[in-house]
Amino acid sequence: MSETRIIAVANQKGGVGKTTTAINLGAALAEEGHKVVVIDLDPQGNASTGLGVPPEARKLTSYDLLAGDQGLMESLQDTAIANLRIVPSNSDLSSADFQLANRPGRTQLLRRKLADQTAIDYILIDCPPALGLLTLNAMVAADSVLVPLQAEFYALEGLSQLLMTVREVRQSANPDLRIEGVLLTMADNRNNLSQQVEADARNTLSGLVYRTVIPRNVRLSEAPSHAMPVLQYDSNSKGSAAYRELAKEFLSRQSVAA
């Protein structure tokens, strides 16, 4: 690849699999030989923990990247996975909306820091569960938005607000922003509601919805407590298979878009 692709993993609803998707899609792309960076833009720092970076080891964070003078390459930390690095976060980010509110070009801060990267294939930004300044920075910096959507009641209702925000960002700051795709997560084929949500999503959003569906999987739930992606924690699990399949579908969409 000659051009870095930047993908914001976003949904204003919490608990839908954003962080799980950012770290496991990142790991699966790295496994395919791509150079991948995850930017943890959530003050909870779950992506950092899930990729094995404990709080005391987070020397430079995504808050420093947004508000400080250093660039992306100085902010990166290695993970235990070849080709996968991270910009970790900590609770400093929780004050970003307030601290950066009067900063000139406050929605462009991340975009400036991510411009003209050539040594990275994919940057995945793990957004917080809110449509505030941090998520706006991610969308303004990104080429596209990947939306994890939990297979549950009201899932599509919440999606409309996110799509409206994407349209507003297109009109105001990033006309090239597109929806990368909608990823159904935490699906249970034995559950009629899960099947109905999937059918509704595919009918409503058509080709935006990935064919790959991420199932409910015990190994996926356990992996973060062991500070590693599921692909590393249990390579043969259903969760690992699903994220490898997602990576292949994601890459095929990239080649079509190119």
Residues 104-124 as b/e (b if ≥16 CB within 10 A, e otherwise) read eebbbbbbebbeebeebbbbb
Residue 1 confidence (pLDDT): 43
Q: Average pLDDT in the 140-167 region?
A: 90
- Give the C-alpha separation, 94 to 128, whole Å: 10
Q: The whole model's pTM is what?
A: 0.96
- 52-77 average pLDDT score: 94
Beta strands in the chain (DSSP E): 5-9, 36-40, 77-78, 84-87, 122-126, 144-150, 178-185
Q: What is the separation of C-alpha 174 from the centre of its chain, rounded to a whole number of angstroms? A: 18
According to the model, what pLDDT value does residue 38 have? 98
Q: Is pLDDT at 243 greater than 70 in this prediction? A: yes
Most confident stretch, 55-64, 204-213, 236-245: 236-245
pLDDT given at position 194: 85
Bridge partners, residue 178, by sequence = 144
Q: Which amino acid is at 45?
A: G
The domains located in the chain, with CATH, are: 5-257 (3.40.50.300)
Contacts by residues 129-132 (CB-CB < 8 Å, ≥ 24 positions apart): 129/11, 129/12, 129/13, 129/14, 129/15, 129/18, 129/42, 130/12, 131/12, 131/161, 131/162, 131/165, 132/97
- For the segment 184-210, what is each residue's pLDDT rounded down to a tens digit? 999 988 888 888 888 988 998 888 999
pLDDT above 70 for 159 = yes
DSSP state, residue 182: E
pLDDT digits (tens, 9 = 90+) for 102-123: 888 999 999 999 998 889 999 9
CB 29 within 8 A of CB 7: no
Residue 69 has pLDDT above 70, yes or no: yes
Q: Does the pLDDT value for residue 98 go beyond 90?
A: no
Percent of the chain having pLDDT more than 70?
A: 98
Mean pLDDT calculated for residue range 125-133: 94
Helix residue spans in 39-125 (DSSP H) = 46-50, 62-67, 72-75, 96-99, 109-114
48: its two tokens: 């950092």
CB 115 within 8 A of CB 150: no
> What proportion of the chain, given as a percentage, has pLDDT over 90?
77
Enumerate residues 6+ apart whose C-beta is below 8 A from 60: 68, 70, 74, 75, 87
Q: Is pLDDT of 124 > 50?
A: yes
Q: Of 24-33, 43-52, 94-103, which range is least confident? A: 94-103
Mean pLDDT of 8-25: 95
Average pLDDT for the chain: 93
